[in-house]
Structure 1
Amino acid sequence: MKASVQMFSAFCVALVPGEALSLEVGFSDYKLLPELAATGFEPFSSSGRNGEMFAMRNADQFYACYGLDNSYAAQLRQEQMDAEVNGGSANRKVQNIPVICVKLQ
C-alpha cells in the first residue's frame, strides 16, 4: 500500500508545472471561531488529517479549526460533568474550549 501511495505522489508531481511547486505560502492572522461565525462562515467537515476538528468556509475563503484544550481543563470539566450525572452539582461553570481557525491557502 505504501509503495502505491509513493507512486501516486510521484505521478502527481510529474504532472504539476515547475511554477506551481514554488508556491509562496502567505501569512494571515488566525481567527477565533465566533469571529468567523459572526461574519457568515459556515462549518463543514474535514479529514482531521492535520489535527483540525472541522473547517469553516465562506465563498472562496476556507479556515481549518483547531481546539486548544489542555489536560488540566479537560479533567476539571470531566469532574464537573461526573458530579452532575451523579446527583447534581451546585456549580455548573466549566472552562470553555478555545477554538482557533487558520486560513487555508
Structure 2
Amino acid sequence: MIRALLIAAAVSPLPTFAAEVGSNPYRYSSELVVEGAVPFATSGAGQAIYGLRKDDALYLCFIADRPTDQNVRQKVLVAEIMGEAGQKSVPNIPVLCVMTQ
C-alpha cells in the first residue's frame, strides 16, 4: 500500500503555485513615507532593515549604498570627532523598498 502511494506521488504532476510571482518597480523609502506609509519592524530576514506599510501593500526596505559614498561619510564623521570639522555635507544613504507579495 505504501509502495502504491509512493508510485502515485512520483507520477503525479508537481503542484502549481496559487499565485505567480509579480514584478513592481522599487521605491525609495522617503517617497513612501511622504505618501503616508508607516514603518514596521522586521526580523532582518533577507537583510531588510525595516518594512513600510502603505494601504494594503507591504514593502521591505534595504540599504543600497555605494562604497565610495560610505568612505566620504566616514572621513567627514571622523574629522568631526577629531575636532577638524570642515565639510558637513555627506551623501545620503539610499534606502530602497521592494513590494512583497
- Count of matched residue pairs: 87
Q: How does 1:1-105 map to 2 (within 5 A)?
A: 18=15, 21-105=17-101
Partners of 2:67 and 2:31 in 1: CA distance: 25
Partners of 1:39 and 1:74 in 2: CA distance: 28
SS in 1 for 2:73: helix
Partners of 1:61 and 1:79 in 2: CA distance: 38
SS in 1 for 2:93: coil
Whose radius of gyration is greater, 1 or 2?
2
Q: Report the aligned-residue RMSD.
A: 1.5
What letter is aligned with 2:36? G
What is the deviation of 1:70? 2.1
Partners of 2:68 and 2:54 in 1: CA distance: 34
What letter is aligned with 1:82? V
Task: Name the TM-score, length of structure 1 as normaliser.
Answer: 0.75
Q: Deviations over 1:61-98 (max 9, x none)?
A: 10011111122221221111010011141210111111
Partners of 1:88 and 1:62 in 2: CA distance: 43
User: % of aligned pairs identical?
Assistant: 33
Q: Flag structure 2 segments of 5+ consecutive residues without an equivalent.
A: 1-14
In structure 1, what is the equivalent of residue 8 of structure 2? none
Extract structure 1 runs of 4+ deviating beyond 4 A. Answer: none
Task: Name the TM-score, length of structure 2 as normaliser.
Answer: 0.77
